[in-house]
Structure 1
Amino acid sequence: MVINTTKTYKKKRFWAGILLAQFLSFYIFSKLKFAVSFFENVFELQKKVHQLLFAWIPFSCGDLLYILLGILLVYLIIKLIKKKTRSNALLRILVVLNISYFIYQIFWGMLYFQTPIIAKLPKIDITLEKRKTLTLEYLEKAKATRKLVQEDKNGVFVIKDLKSIQKEILSQQNILPSFITDKQSNNIDSFKPSLFKNIMSFTGVLGYYNPFTAEAQFNAELPSSYLPFTLAHESSHQFGFAREQEANFIGYLIGVDSKNLELKYSTEYFTLKSLLNSIVYEDEKFVKMALENYSNGMKRDRLNERKFVAEHQGYLNDFFGFTNNLFLKSNQQEGSITYSYFIDLLVRYKSISNPKSK
Structure 2
Amino acid sequence: MITAFESFFEIQKKIHQLLFSWIPFSVGDLLYLLLGTYLFYLITKCFKKRSRQQSILKALILINILYFTYQIFWGMLYFQTPIIARLPEKEITLKERKKLALRYLEKCKQTRMFVTEDQHGIFIIADIKSIESEILHQQTKLPTIISDKKVSSINSFKSSLFKNVMSFTGILGYYNPFTAEAQYNCELPSSYLPFTVAHESAHQLGFAREQEANFIGYLVGVDSPNIELRYSTEYFTLKTLLNSMVYEDEQFVEYILKNYSDGMKRDRAFEKKFVLKHQGLLNDFFGITNNLFLKSNQQEGSVTYSYFIDLLVRYEK
* Shorter-chain TM-score tier: over 0.9
TM-score for both structures, normalised by structure 2? 0.99
| 4+ residue runs over 2 A deviation | none
Query: 2 CA distance for matches of 1:333 and 1:180?
Result: 19
1:121 aligns with 2:74: no
State the SS of the aligned residue for 1:148: coil
Query: 2 CA distance for matches of 1:156 and 1:194?
Result: 24
Instruction: Tell me which residue corresponds to 1:289.
Output: 255
Instruction: Tell me which residue corresponds to 1:22.
Output: none
Match of 1:133 among 72, 91, 99: 99
Match of 2:173 among 186, 190, 207: 207
- Choose 1 or 2 for highest CA Rg: 1
1:168 aligns with 2:168: no
Per the TM alignment, residue 81 of structure 1 is displaced from its structure 2 partner at its CA by 1.3
What is the one-letter code of the residue matched to 1:142? C
What is the one-letter code of the residue matched to 1:235? S
Per the TM alignment, residue 79 of structure 1 is displaced from its structure 2 partner at its CA by 1.0
Instruction: Tell me which residue corresponds to 2:162.
Output: 196
What is the one-letter code of the residue matched to 2:88? P
Aligned pairs (5 A) from 1:34-49: 35-49=1-15
Query: 2 CA distance for matches of 1:177 and 1:63?
Result: 33
Which consecutive residues of structure 2, in runs of 5 or more, have no partner in the other structure? none
1:261 aligns with 2:221: no
Query: 1 CA distance for matches of 2:237 and 2:303?
Result: 17
What is the one-letter code of the residue matched to 2:270? N
1:324 aligns with 2:270: no
What is the one-letter code of the residue matched to 1:256? V
Q: How many residues align?
A: 317
Aligned pairs (5 A) from 1:306-325: 306-325=272-291
Instruction: Tell me which residue corresponds to 1:8.
Output: none
Could you say what the CA RMSD is over the residues aligned between the two structures, in angstroms?
0.5
What is the one-letter code of the residue matched to 2:177? P
CA offsets 1:317-350 (integer angstroms, 9 cap, x no match): 0000000000000001011121111001000100
What is the one-letter code of the residue matched to 1:299? K
Per the TM alignment, residue 184 of structure 1 is displaced from its structure 2 partner at its CA by 2.6
Per the TM alignment, residue 98 of structure 1 is displaced from its structure 2 partner at its CA by 1.7
Is this contact kept in 2: 1:173–1:184, CA < 8 A?
A: no
State the SS of the aligned residue for 2:46: helix
TM-score for both structures, normalised by structure 1? 0.88
Per the TM alignment, residue 305 of structure 1 is displaced from its structure 2 partner at its CA by 0.2
What is the one-letter code of the residue matched to 2:123? F
Instruction: Tell me which residue corresponds to 2:150.
Output: 184
Is this contact kept in 1: 2:20–2:27, CA < 8 A?
A: yes
Query: 2 CA distance for matches of 1:321 and 1:262?
Result: 28
Is this contact kept in 1: 2:10–2:150, CA < 8 A?
A: no
Which consecutive residues of structure 1, in runs of 5 or more, have no partner in the other structure? 1-34, 352-358
Aligned pairs (5 A) from 1:227-266: 227-266=193-232
What is the one-letter code of the residue matched to 1:224? S
State the SS of the aligned residue for 1:157: coil
1:59 aligns with 2:20: no
Per the TM alignment, residue 183 of structure 1 is displaced from its structure 2 partner at its CA by 1.2
